[in-house]
Amino acid sequence: MSDEPSIQSLPRIGDPAPDFTAVTTQGEIKFSEWQGDSWTVMFSHPADFTPVCSTELTEFGKRSKEFAELNTKLIGISVDSIHSHLAWEQNLQQILDVKLPYPMIADSTRAVSELYGMIHPGESATVTVRALFIIDPKRKIRTIIYYPLNVGRNVDEVKRALIALQTTDANGVACPVNWQPGEKVIVPPPKTDKEVEERLSNDSYEKLDFYLCKKEL
Does position 149 bind ligand BEZ by CB under 6 A? yes
* Under rule CB under 6 A, residue 50 binds ligand BEZ: yes
Tell me if residue 53 is catalytic.
yes
Stretch that binds ligand BEZ, among 18-26, 45-53, 110-118, 180-188 (CB under 6 A): 45-53
Q: Give the number of residues in contact with ligand BEZ, rule: CB under 6 A.
A: 8
Among 47, 87, 111, 155, binds ligand BEZ (CB under 6 A): 47
Q: Is 212 in contact with 190 (CB distance < 8 Å)?
A: no
Q: In terms of Cα–Cα distance, which of 25, 23, 20, 19 is closest to 103? A: 25
* Residue among 53, 79, 132, 161 flagged as catalytic: 53
For 109-120, give one letter per residue: b (16+ CB within 10 A) or e. eeebbebbbbbb
Contacts of 175-180 with CB under 8 Å at 24 or more apart are 176/214
29 binds ligand BEZ (CB under 6 A): no
**Of 56 and 136, which CB lies nearer to ligand BEZ in the complex structure?**
56
Query: Could you tell me the smallest distance in angstroms from the CB atom of residue 59 to ligand BEZ?
Result: 13
Binding stretches for ligand BEZ (CB under 6 A): 46-47, 50-53, 149-150
